[in-house]
Chain A
């Protein structure tokens, strides 16, 4: 137990923000989160920011726009796990007693490079190839082992698209219900993955306010754990890819233990789905189901918001969108909304405990357990 509570969450719309300066996305998300918490920026004791592609000092620029109060501002970078890494720092800033309220802010532009931002350049041999390669190889192995067809992965992706139709801030909101055949019929990126099984690269911002004090709509942080690149001989080192499923298991087990809960207590899930197959991998790795179970859940609609294991109810990286450094905080915002009972048309039936999981290229994994 951390003794820390989430009192506010804020998002921008996810999609193309070509003409919006990157810092504006962070500021907008932070202002929404502060308004949601019912506090001003002068109540914040520390700020932690997250972006993978921002130029130097962007975090300070975002914080200065919110108010030059002199508080510590720390920028973090941990690829897709960055938002959750920033959140972990914010939680521990409060839990340690350094401050009573902290703010985590994520922001990213992936559709149009921000002037002064980081240009991802190929350094190693495999950087020249599509980043979906290792997901595809892992997915192919899982299908081979289970003797399932790609329609299982397609069912997970279709679920995410249809959840995003219920999320007004999501990037991919299909006007019609998405079917398994739609997903299977999309262009193949790397067998067995089609384009509709892969994440949407988008722009966006997300922010979370954490506090030592409870508020009427606050959600408790039961635990938040991070690991970075543990050794696994079954997982080839091919550059800045995510870590192995065993890392997800290790991180989740630590989070469950410190929270005093188990997988059976989880009522809503948000996890990193760079590809839809990753959702399957992570659900199993976190002990939330097994291989047989995930197939039944995927094919029966059990992963939708009205299912028995609601997962990525905002559409996930597949359809909500994946603004790298902001993604983990957007995931947290979704689970908080669910635990508050404020998720409107995609509301899960009375979840009490939620889990947020993020992994990032280069090898960090963060798992947080939240209770409403």
Chain B
């Protein structure tokens, strides 16, 4: 994955109704998605509600614990 605010489209997603392993994220459950980008399909955490397939958005850089990751953020509708 390359960088900041990469356009991405959701292929599929799930919602996990339990605490995420990172205290600063998803303590009431969290969504994970497979998203398609120009560089391929990736598994990413979702910032917000579980997106339906076809949802368009961006991958935004974030840090969880000591890990630098990219999270999916849906575009405003």
Pair B41/A234 contact, Cβ less than 8 Å: yes
Pair A141/B16 contact, Cβ less than 8 Å: no
A99 in contact (CB, < 8 A): no
Pair A233/B40 contact, Cβ less than 8 Å: yes
A352 in contact (CB, < 8 A): no
A137 in contact (CB, < 8 A): yes
A133 with B43, Cβ < 8 A, contacts A125-B67, A128-B21, A144-B53 known: yes
Pair B16/A130 contact, Cβ less than 8 Å: yes
A236 with B41, Cβ < 8 A, contacts A128-B22, A129-B32 known: yes
Pair A133/B32 contact, Cβ less than 8 Å: yes
Pair A191/B41 contact, Cβ less than 8 Å: no
Q: Using a CB-CB cutoff of 8 Å, which residues 182-196 of chain A contact chain B?
A: 188-193
A138 in contact (CB, < 8 A): yes
Interface size class of A (residues with CB under 8 A): 20 to 34
Chain B residues positioned under 8 Å from A192 (CB to CB): 14
Is the contact region of chain B dominated by helix, strand, or loop, or is it mixed? strand
Measured CB to CB, the nearest residue on chain B to A236 is B43
A189 with B16, Cβ < 8 A, contacts A128-B21, A144-B53 known: yes
Q: How far is the CA of A228 from the CA of B71 in the complex (A)?
A: 30
Interface size class of B (residues with CB under 8 A): 20 to 34
Pair A133/B53 contact, Cβ less than 8 Å: no
Chain A residues positioned under 8 Å from B52 (CB to CB): 144
Chain A residues positioned under 8 Å from B13 (CB to CB): 137, 140
B33 in contact (CB, < 8 A): yes
Pair B14/A137 contact, Cβ less than 8 Å: yes
Chain A residues positioned under 8 Å from B32 (CB to CB): 129, 133, 137, 190
Separation in Å of the B28 CB from the closest CB of chain A? 14
Chain B residues positioned under 8 Å from A191 (CB to CB): 14-17, 50
Q: How far is the CA of A159 from the CA of B21 in the complex (A)?
A: 33
A148 in contact (CB, < 8 A): no
Chain A residues positioned under 8 Å from B34 (CB to CB): 137, 141, 236
Give per-residue flags for B46-77: 1 if the beta carbon is below 8 A from chain A beta carbons, else 0: 00001011000000000010010100000000
A134 in contact (CB, < 8 A): yes
Measured CB to CB, the nearest residue on chain B to A187 is B17
Q: Using a CB-CB cutoff of 8 Å, which residues 1-49 of chain B contact chain A?
A: 11-17, 20-22, 32-34, 40-43
Is the contact region of chain A dominated by helix, strand, or loop, or is it mixed? mixed
A235 in contact (CB, < 8 A): yes
Give per-residue flags for A215-258: 1 if the beta carbon is below 8 A from chain B beta carbons, else 0: 00000000000000000011110100000000000000000000
Q: How far is the CA of A179 from the CA of B47 in the complex (A)?
A: 36
Q: How far is the CA of A185 from the CA of B21 in the complex (A)?
A: 25
Q: How far is the CA of A125 from the CA of B1 in the complex (A)?
A: 15
B residues near A (Cβ < 8 Å) are: 11-17, 20-22, 32-34, 40-43, 50, 52-53, 64, 67, 69
A residues near B (Cβ < 8 Å) are: 125-126, 128-130, 133-134, 136-138, 140-141, 144, 188-193, 233-236, 238
Q: A128-B22, A191-B16 are in contact. List 7 more A-B contacts (CB 8 A).
A: A137-B12, A190-B15, A190-B16, A191-B15, A193-B14, A233-B41, A238-B43
Q: What would be 21 A-B contacts, judged by CB atoms less than 8 Å apart?
A: A126-B43, A128-B21, A129-B21, A133-B14, A134-B43, A136-B16, A137-B12, A137-B34, A138-B12, A140-B12, A141-B12, A141-B34, A188-B17, A189-B16, A190-B32, A191-B50, A235-B41, A236-B34, A236-B40, A236-B43, A238-B43
- Which are the 8 A-B pairs with shortest beta-carbon distances? A141-B12, A136-B14, A128-B21, A236-B43, A190-B14, A238-B43, A191-B15, A190-B16
